[in-house]
Each structure stands twice: as C-alpha cells, then as structure tokens.
Amino acid sequence: MPVIIHRIYIDAPTWLCFDLARNVDIHMETTSETGERAVAGKTEGLMEKGDTVTWEAKHLGVRQRLTAQIVEMERPTMFTDVMVKGAFQSFTHVHKFHEHDNGTMMTDTFSYKSPFGLLGVCADLLFLKRYMRRFIVQRAQELKRIAEEYKTQR
C-alpha cells in the first residue's frame, strides 16, 4: 500500500490552517487544476466529523466521482478522511497541524490501495504514486498561499 507523506511550513496560526484545510470551498479553490467540485453531501463551508462529500474532478484525463467521509477530528490539530466510494480500492488521508516557529507545520499522510490487483500495483510504480504526490503537494502549496495571504490581510 503506497503511503505519501508531505510536510509544509505555513506562516499562519494552526487554527486557521486547520479550518482552511477542512473548508469545502477552499478545497475547490486549491484543486482548481483538476476542476474538483463538491456535488453531493457537504457542498460548502467547514466539514465536521461524520460529514461526507462527493467530489467530481478530472484526474488523468478521466472525469471521476469520489465520496469521502471525515471519520476523526481533534480540533485544531488533526482530522482524517477516508474514501467510502470511488476509484481507489481504499484511501485514508490524515491531516495534522502543529504549532512550529510561530506558524504551523502541516503534515499530510495519504495512504491508498489501487484497484485492479497487479495492474494497479504496476500503475503505482509507473505513474500513480507520482501523480498523487504532485496533487497533494500542489494543494498544500495553495493552502499555504491562502493562509499566509489571509494572515497578512488581518
């Protein structure tokens, strides 16, 4: 099972990073490259434990739908979402936020299992893990940009 871990320092308070990361509207803004949009479940505002959202986006040239649920939340330091329906066999995404040098260290831990058995394992090795890492890194960089802009506007 591939695991992607990405850490990024954000010059903004932990509570702000936490709220931005679980905000459906901000999620759509930070994933604009794939045209991700919420089409069912919680479609705007802050997600809470137990909430589900169905995302529609274009990944690897294919329009897909994926439903995720927030299964764990400890405000303002972490939340976990898991896929309940979608293209992966499974995935778990843990979002952690720790105060660090007057800002926040945000850590994404994304573990997934590809569908299609051996064919899925080959896809991971050839392109999927690299694609997913790039997606997570780009989203984190956009979240950082938004949080730091918000901080300077206050």
* Residue-range definition of the domain harbouring residue 136: 3-153
pLDDT band of residue 126 (cuts 50, 70, 90) is: confident
Q: 43 versus 117: which is more confidently predicted?
A: 43
Residue 84: is its pLDDT beyond 90?
A: yes
> Which pTM does this prediction carry?
0.92
pLDDT of residue 92: 97
Structural domain count, the chain: 1
Mean pLDDT throughout 4-13? 97
Give pLDDT tens digits for 31-68.
988 899 999 999 999 999 999 999 999 887 889 999 99
Least confident of 62-71, 75-84, 109-118, 133-142: 109-118
pLDDT of residue 1: 82
Q: According to the 3-state scheme, what is the secondary structure of the chain? A: CCEEEEEEEECCCHHHHHHHHCEHHHHHHHCHHHCCEEEEECCCCECCCCCEEEEEEEECCEEEEEEEEEEEEECCCEEEEEEEECCCCEEEEEEEEEEECCEEEEEEEEEEECCCHHHHHHHHHHHHHHHHHHHHHHHHHHHHHHHHHHHHHC
Q: What's the CATH number where 70 sits? A: 3.30.530.20
Residue 123: is its pLDDT beyond 80?
A: no
